[in-house]
Structure formats: structure tokens, C-alpha cells
Amino acid sequence: MKKLLCYSIFCLLLIACSKQPLDINVDYVERLRSQLPIPELEFVLPRSPTSTLLNIEKSDTNLSLLQLNELAHCKLAQIVAEHNTTLGKVATHANRFIYNIEFLKHVDTCIIGTENEQLKALLNRAKSEKIAAIPKYWQNLLAGSSEITTIWTISRFPLAIDVNQGEQDTLNALNQLANVSHSIKQNQFSEINSETVTDSLEKLNNNPYLSSLFTAIKQQIGYTKLITEQLYKHDLDKICETGKSNQAGKILTNIFSKYYAKQLQPYHNQLLTKYQRVRAHLVTIYSHKINNAAINSNLINEIETYADLKAVSLTHVIWWQKLYKKCVITPG
């Protein structure tokens, strides 16, 4: 709660003390409108898709109290006993994932250490079931943990220019979760440190960095597209007619230089740089399969569309390059 309050105060101070990127977009359009007929631009920020919670059937492979007593020589008995308490029954999705990982990390020691063939068979059956179910538990951790699902919500505070608050914690958390995801795909459960899962979620808890970043990217893609569409409706020959004064062209290019080239374009580059830092981690985290089917293709597609900001910005700049050429104006 303390961290959330700090982040919120930080965002409010930024809004109060500096001009926000969307305000620059609005000013940009207003200045363009002084030279070109441009209608009011309406843009609704699209919501991100959601990840799906999966139904995991309750296993019939259970250890009795007598069997747990037989396993007293290994740590698995304690892990199972703790899970069977009331705490285990109201466990979060993260708790359930961690329990199953810890079970798999310690089950082989128990299998080797017991001479009871019936118990060995039971443990092997439970091991196989849990290996098959681990991707589902991972999916439910992603889809049901508020620390992660808030990544995809629309932020009230799109990431502002030159803001890095929360970025390092986010990168550390995503790197840890990506490593866990990779280990799951390779069935290398012994490589997963349960504490890093908890630590990652703590780093993401009340950390608005990703939702602010993605909101800002979607905002800039949408608004830049709208402005560009309007510009392409105007005939360059009419803006700069041959043999006539290029006054309109000069005013327009000055507007472009002041608002886009010097403010919005560097901001777009910042957003793209920050996006590239998180993209690979997020793809690794979400690109797992259940029964050979990609379960999060909607979110993977969403992640990849954020790269569109580069193409959208380029299309915008190309129109201006044509105007500079048509009006015989040297950028400066």
C-alpha cells in the first residue's frame, strides 16, 4: 500500500508539474488546424484482451496420513501436510503453482527412499499428473494473480516523458518469471526457485509501470494514426503551389518541427526502447501451450502490436518529408 501511494503521488506530481504527451498531441493538432481544415479527432483507447483461467480437475491420487508418516524421512511429507491444511485450501493461484513445483522437486527423493512398492507407484502417478498439470497452474498464476493481470488494464497515468519509475523492478520481475516459464517448457522443475516467483509478484504488486507504458503506446499509436490520416487527405500541390509563396508550407513545417520532431518523436523513441526491453520477457512468459494449443495467442498478438508505433511514426514522418520536398524547404 505504501508503494502504491508513492507511485500515485509521483504520477500526480508529474501531471501537475509537466505537460503530458497527449496534451502535446492536442496542441499539435490545434496548431495544424490553424492552417488546414482538420475535424475534431475522437479516439477511444482499446482495451487489452484477457488471459483465461483454466479448470484443473481434482486428482484422485492422494496420500493418506499413514502414507505421509511413511514419508517422514523426506521433505515432501511436510510440503503435502502444509498444503492439506486450511491455508492450502484457500491458497492463491501462485501458492498452488509453487506447491506443485515443490512437490515435483522433492518427490524423487521420496520415491528412492521408500521400499513400499504401492507407495512408490502412488508417488509416480502423482508425479506424472503434476507434470502434466504444471502448465495449467502456470496459466492460472498468470490469469488469476492481480499483480500480473493489472499489467493489461488501462492506466489513468500513461507513462510520461523521461519517466523510469518502477522500470527496474519490472525488468527484474519479468526476467525471473521468464526464466520460470522457460524451465516449465523444458520440464526442468528443479531449476525453479519458488522464492523468485514470490519475489517477482512482490515487485509487480502496485507497480503501475507496465500498464502506464502500454497505455501510453496505445494512446500514441491511435492518436498519431488519426493525425496522419487527416494529413494524407490534403493535396500537397494546393499547400505549396508552383510559383506561389510557400508561406503555408513554412508555417506547417515549423509546427511539425516544434511539436512532433522535437517532442513527440523523441517520446515515441523512448516508448519503443522501453517496449523492447520487456517484449521478449513477456513473450516467453505467455507463449506456452496446453495440449499443443497456444493458450495466450491473443495476448501475444497484443504484445506484438505495440511495435506498430514505429511504423505509425514513420508513416507520419513520410508525409512531412514529401511536404518539405514539395515546398522546397530545408529541415532545420
Can you give the pLDDT at residue 11?
47
Please give the pLDDT value at position 85: 79
How far is Cα 203 from Cα 180, in angstroms, rounded to an integer?
Answer: 15
Same domain, 126 and 198: no
Residue 87's pLDDT is 61
> Are residues 152 and 133 part of one domain?
no
Domain match, 316 and 247 both: yes
Q: 282 lies in a domain?
A: yes
Please check whether residue 223 lies inside any domain of the structure.
Answer: yes
Looking at 144, 163, 188, the residue that finishes a domain is 144
Same domain as 111, residue 160: no
pLDDT for 206 equals 93
Question: Are 163 and 293 contained in the same domain?
Answer: yes
Helix, strand, coil distribution of the chain in percent, nearest 5: 70, 0, 30
* Residue 80: domain span: 65-144
User: What pLDDT does residue 203 have?
Assistant: 97
Domain boundary among 144, 163, 190: 144
The pLDDT, as a whole number, for residue 1 is 43
Q: Which residues of the chain have pLDDT under 70?
A: 1-19, 86-89, 242-244
Q: Same structural domain for residues 112 and 161?
A: no
Residues 27 and 70 placed together within one structural domain of the fold: no
Please identify, among 128, 144, 160, the residue that sits at the C-terminal boundary of a domain.
144
Residues 135 and 159 in one domain: no
294-327: per-residue pLDDT in tens?
889 999 999 999 999 999 999 999 999 999 999 9
d(CA 282, CA 177): 9
Our count of domains for the chain comes to 2
Tell me the residue type at 305.
Answer: T
- Same structural domain for residues 206 and 315? yes
Residue 59 lies in a domain: no
Write down the pTM of the prediction. 0.89
Looking at the structure, tell me whether residues 214 and 110 fall in a common domain.
no
On the 0-12 / 13-18 / 19+ scale of CB atoms within 10 A, 205 is middle
Here the contacts of 20-25 (C-beta below 8 Å, separation 24 or greater) are: 20/158, 20/160, 21/158, 21/160, 21/161, 21/216, 21/219, 21/220, 21/264, 21/267, 22/158, 22/219, 22/223, 24/259, 24/263, 24/264, 24/267, 25/220, 25/223, 25/224, 25/227, 25/264
Q: Which tens digit of pLDDT belongs to each residue from 163-212?
A: 999 999 999 999 999 999 999 999 999 999 999 999 999 999 999 999 99
d(CA 131, CA 121): 15
User: What pLDDT does residue 15 have?
Assistant: 45
* Angle subtended at Cα 62 by Cα 56 and Cα 64, rounded to the nearest 5 degrees: 155
Angle, CA 9 vertex, CA 6 and CA 15 arms, to 5°? 140
